[in-house]
């Protein structure tokens, strides 16, 4: 491509189509041919626009988190009470998992748990994103304590780890074909782990 020549394709649209392929198939199962077919561009244009498959995946994950995958963290941050925030996060997460291509679950929750050694840096990137979700859940629980919605003695580390595990587990269940009502039942059961304020005197 000559310098200064405008691209003959819509980069944003190509990125979204690439995201859908990665979401459906995962990073390692996605081949360059899959991405070229989905985006409708040739190899020189692909590398000029995105640099590499690795770089494109990182961009695709960012797009996912900003768009179709944003619901769970939005619910966590914006719902007024802590119980509603946690429940809203889990329901949004299961809906996103069920909406994924081929019921592939959450792109971040299931992204690169196991991979080839050469993809270890990308695995660490995905792991840090999941750790970020854990931190956000804990911060929301801390707000719940500060607002008097949770007992001061609540074990926030344990609760945050529990709810991030439920969030990730919903994706695994969706991937294995669980129906929405089944996943909603898991959410209902999980919410029983959130202590009520009046239990503060029993928390130790």
Pair (61, 74) in one structural domain = no
Pair (36, 105) in one structural domain = no
**C-alpha dihedral (110, 111, 113, 114), degrees to nearest 10:** 120
pTM of the model: 0.85
Per-residue model confidence as pLDDT tens digits over 74-92: 999 999 999 999 999 999 9
Residue 115 in domain: yes
74: CATH: 1.10.357.10
Pair (84, 40) in one structural domain = no
What are φ and ψ of residue 8, in 5° steps?
-95, 15
Do 30 and 20 touch, CB atoms closer than 8 A?
Answer: no
Per-residue model confidence as pLDDT tens digits over 184-193: 999 999 999 9
Look at the chain and report how many structural domains it folds into: 2
SS3 82: helix
């Amino acid at each position: 491509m000559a310098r200064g020549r405008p691209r003959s394709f819509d980069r944003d649209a190509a990125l979204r189509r690439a995201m859908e392929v990665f979401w459906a198939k995962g990073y390692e199962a996605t081949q360059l041919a899959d991405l070229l077919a989905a985006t409708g561009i040739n190899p020189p244009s692909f590398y000029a626009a995105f640099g590499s498959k690795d770089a494109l995946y990182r961009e695709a994950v960012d797009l996912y988190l900003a768009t179709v995958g944003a619901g769970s963290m939005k619910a966590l941050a914006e719902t007024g009470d802590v119980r509603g925030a946690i429940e809203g996060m889990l329901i949004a997460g299961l809906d996103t998992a069920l909406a994924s291509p081929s019921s592939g679950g959450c792109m971040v929750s299931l992204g690169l748990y196991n991979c080839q050694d050469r993809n270890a840096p990308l695995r660490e990137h995905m792991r840090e994103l999941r750790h970020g979700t854990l931190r956000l859940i804990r911060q929301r629980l801390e707000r719940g304590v500060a607002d008097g919605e949770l007992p001061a003695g609540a074990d926030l580390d344990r609760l945050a780890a529990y709810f991030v595990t439920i969030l990730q587990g919903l994706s695994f269940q969706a991937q294995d074909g669980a129906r929405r009502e089944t996943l909603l039942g898991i959410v209902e059961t999980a919410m029983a782990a959130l202590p009520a304020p009046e239990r503060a005197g029993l928390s130790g």
